[in-house]
Amino acid sequence: MPLLRRANDQQASEWIPIPVGVWRFHISPAPEIKYSEKYNNYGARFPLMLVPDEQARVTEEQGRPPDGSQQSYRISYRTGLSLGYMQRDGQYKSTKLVDFLDACIGQANGKRFREWIQSGGGPRKGKDPDDPAEELQLIQDWLGWFEGLEVYGSVRHEEDAQGVVWARFGGPMAVGSLPGQREDEYQAVGRGKLRSMIVEYEESIGKKTQPIPAAPKPAAAAPRVRFTREGKEVIEDEDDTPF
C-alpha cells in the first residue's frame, strides 16, 4: 500500500451512520450561521459529536467497521433563528432553536433560561440595529457560548434519492433529566454559562444583572420524634443514638 495518498486517489467513501437510538452528544466545533438557498433565510447549524463513552458504545454494539468503510460519530442539527413569540392569549410559543438550547444548558437551568428568553434575552445588542452584518456576528458570538455543552437526542435513519442513508438528530433532551442522574457538575457548568450570557446581554443594554440563584441543596432529614409514657414529646437527632 502506498505511503502517500494523492488527491485523485480513491477515497474511503462509505461512512456508517450512527445507529438508531438515543445517544449523548457534545457540540463540537462551535455552532455556525448558515444561509439557506432553499428557504431564502439564515439558520443555525449545530455540529454534534458522540461523547467518548458513546463512541465506545457504538464499537461495542456494532463491532469495528469492515474494510473500506468508516464509522461516523458526527451528526448535525439545524434550526431557524427565532427565539419564539408571545401568542394572543399571552402564552409563549417556543421554537426548535429555544428547545435545543434549553436542553443543552442542563435540566436544572432550563426554566431560568426560558424565563430569560421570554423576557427578551438572547444575543447582546449591537450599536446599529439596522446593520445585518453586525447582528449576524452577534448571533454567531452568542451561539458560541454553547460550544462544548452536551445533549441527549434520538437518531433515526433516512434514505435520500440516491440511496444514501443519513442519520438525523431529533428530540433533544437535557443532561440531568434521566431518572437518578442529576449530574450536578454539569448543571454547574450550564449555570455558569447562563450567568455569563445574561451578564453580557444586560451590559449591552445598560441593565443591572439579576444574579442566578444556585441550585437548592437537598433538604435535611427531619429529626426523629417519640413520646414518653406521660405523653411528653422527645426529639432525637441521628447523632444522639448510643451506637
100 and 77 in contact (C-beta within 8 Å)?
yes
* Inside any domain, residue 21: yes
User: From CA 24, how far away is CA 21, in angstroms rounded?
Assistant: 10
pLDDT at 2 over 90: no
Does residue 84 belong to any structural domain of this protein?
Answer: yes
Residue 179 is given by DSSP the state T
Whether residue 147 is predicted with pLDDT greater than 50 in this model: the reply is yes
> Which of 50-54, 182-186, 198-202, 205-209 comes out lowest in average pLDDT?
205-209
| Residue 3 within any structural domain of the chain | no
**Model pLDDT for residues 82-103, shown as the tens digit of each residue:** 999 999 999 999 999 999 999 9
pLDDT digits (tens, 9 = 90+) for 37-66: 988 999 999 999 999 999 999 999 999 999
The verdict on residue 130 lying in a domain is yes
Q: Residue 142: which residues within 8 A CB-CB, separation 6 or more?
A: 122, 123, 124, 197
Q: How many domains does the chain have?
A: 1
pLDDT cut 70: percent of the chain above it: 80
Domain assignment of residue 2, yes or no: no
pLDDT in tens, 152-189: 999 999 999 988 899 999 999 999 999 888 999 999 99
Mean of pLDDT values over 23-34: 97
Mean pLDDT of the chain: 86
pTM over 0.85: no
pLDDT at 240 over 50: no
Tens digit of each residue's pLDDT (9 = 90 or more) over 9-22:
555 468 999 999 99
Residue 131 has pLDDT above 70, yes or no: yes
pLDDT attached to residue 14:
86
Domain assignment present for residue 177? The answer is yes
* Residue 47 domain flag: yes
The grid coordinates of residue 37 equal 438557498
Among 67, 12, 28, CA closest to 150: 28
| Whole-number Å distance between alpha carbons of 33 and 41 | 10
32 and 142 Cβ atoms separated by less than 8 Å: no
Please report the pLDDT score of residue 213 as a whole number. Answer: 56
Domain for residue 41, yes or no?
yes
Other CB atoms within a 10 A radius of the CB of residue 109 amount to 26
pLDDT at residue 38, rounded to an integer: 87
Residue whose entry in the numeric block shows the C-alpha cell 458513546: 54
pLDDT for 215 equals 54
Which of the residue ranges 2-11, 63-72, 85-94, 187-196 would you say has the lowest mean pLDDT? 2-11
Give the closest residue to 189 by CA, choosing from 152, 150, 142.
150
Domain of residue 191 covers 14-240
